[in-house]
């Protein structure tokens, strides 16, 4: 089965498409079907007594959407927000219904087709916070892309109880 998207990128059975973005020099990917939109950075309203990686909430056309600073989430060094800094708005399944959540990343990179058999499971080092949210590693055009499990990454309730 081959379907062709508007942009001419082909999706084959067993091949998933990932939107990749840069974060502290590494390339990460999220399932493109989970991406609602990409928007420029706007200051967020901080939420009191929330994890430090939650920047706050923004107004997305009338909906209040939480925004996560992915660098802080992964315990990476902080960076100044620059002109390429964007918010990727993701749809993640919630306990009751789908939630809309933004992640702040350094820059958006590419859209890649990744065959399921090109993904290797994450290395068994559970020490780093980031590895818990990694679905797998994919080799694309001689680069390594870290595929994220956005569902776990943005599970606020689990994050709250862990804190």
Partner 1 sequence: MSDDFSEFLDVFFEECAEGLDVMESGLLALDGGTPDGEAINTIFRAAHSIKGGAATFDFPRLADFTHTVEALLDRMRDGRRAVTRDAVDLLLAAVDALRGMVAASRAGEPLDEARAADLKRDLEAAMDAPAASAAGETAAPTPAVQDGAEPATGWRIRFVPAEEMLARGNDPLHILRALEELGRLEVRTDGAGLPALDALDTTRCHLGFDLTLHGTVSEVQVREVFAWVDGECELHVAPLDPAAASPPAAVGRDEPEPHAAHDPTTDPEAPVDTTATAEPPAAVPSAAPPALVPAPRAGPAVASAAAKPQAAPAPTGGGEAGSIRVGIEKVDGLINLVGELVITQSMLSSIAEGANGVDLEKLRDGVAQLVRNTRELQEMAMQIRMLPIATSFNRFPRLVRDLGARLGKQVELRIEGGGTELDKTVLEKIGDPLVHLVRNSMDHGIERPEQRRAAGKPDIGVLTLAARHEGGNIVIEVGDDGAGLDTARILAKARERGLVGVDEDLTEAQVHDLVFRAGFSTAEQVSDVSGRGVGMDVVRRNIQELGGAVTVTSAAGTGSTFTIRLPLTLAILDGQLVRVGAQIYILSLLSVVESVQVKPGLVSRVAGHTEVFALRGRYIPVVRLHRLFGIDADSARLEDGLLVVVEAAGRRVALFIDELLGQQQVVIKSLESNYRHVQGLSGATILGDGRVALILDVPRLIQRELAAGRGAALAAVDPAA
Residue with smaller CB distance to partner 1, 63 or 120: 63
Q: What is the nearest approach in angstroms of partner 1 to the Cβ of residue 127?
A: 27
Burial degree of 148 (CB within 10 A; 0-12, 13-18, 19+) = buried
Residue with smaller CB distance to partner 1, 71 or 99: 99
Residue with smaller CB distance to partner 1, 58 or 147: 58
Q: Give every CB contact of residue 111 below 8 A, 6+ residues apart in sequence.
A: 7, 9, 17, 18, 19, 20, 32
**Among candidate residues 30, 110, 111, the one with its CA nearest the CA of residue 70:** 30
Residue with smaller CB distance to partner 1, 48 or 82: 48
* Residues that bind partner 1 in the complex, under the rule CB under 8 A: 44-50, 54, 56-59, 61-66, 97, 99-101, 156-157, 160
Q: What is the nearest approach in angstroms of partner 1 to the Cβ of residue 38?
A: 17
* H or E element, residue 17: strand 15-23
Q: What is the nearest approach in angstroms of partner 1 to the Cβ of residue 43?
A: 8
- Answer whether 115's CB lies under 8 Å from 17's CB: no
Q: What is the nearest approach in angstroms of partner 1 to the Cβ of residue 157?
A: 6
């Amino acid at each position: 089965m081959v379907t062709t998207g508007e942009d001419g990128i082909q999706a084959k059975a067993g091949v998933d498409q990932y939107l990749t973005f840069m974060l502290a020099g590494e390339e990460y990917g999220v399932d493109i079907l989970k991406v609602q939109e990409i928007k420029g950075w706007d200051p967020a309203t901080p939420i009191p007594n929330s994890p430090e990686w939650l920047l706050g909430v923004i107004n997305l056309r009338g909906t209040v959407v939480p925004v996560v600073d992915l660098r802080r989430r992964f315990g990476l060094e902080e960076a100044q927000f620059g002109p390429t800094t964007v918010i990727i708005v993701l749809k993640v399944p919630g306990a009751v219904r789908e939630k809309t959540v933004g992640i702040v990343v350094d820059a958006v990179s590419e859209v890649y087709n990744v065959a399921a058999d090109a993904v290797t499971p994450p290395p068994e080092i559970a020490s780093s916070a980031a590895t818990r949210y990694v679905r797998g590693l994919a080799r694309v055009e001689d680069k390594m892309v870290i595929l994220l499990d956005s569902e776990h990454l943005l599970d606020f309730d689990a994050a709250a109880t862990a804190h």
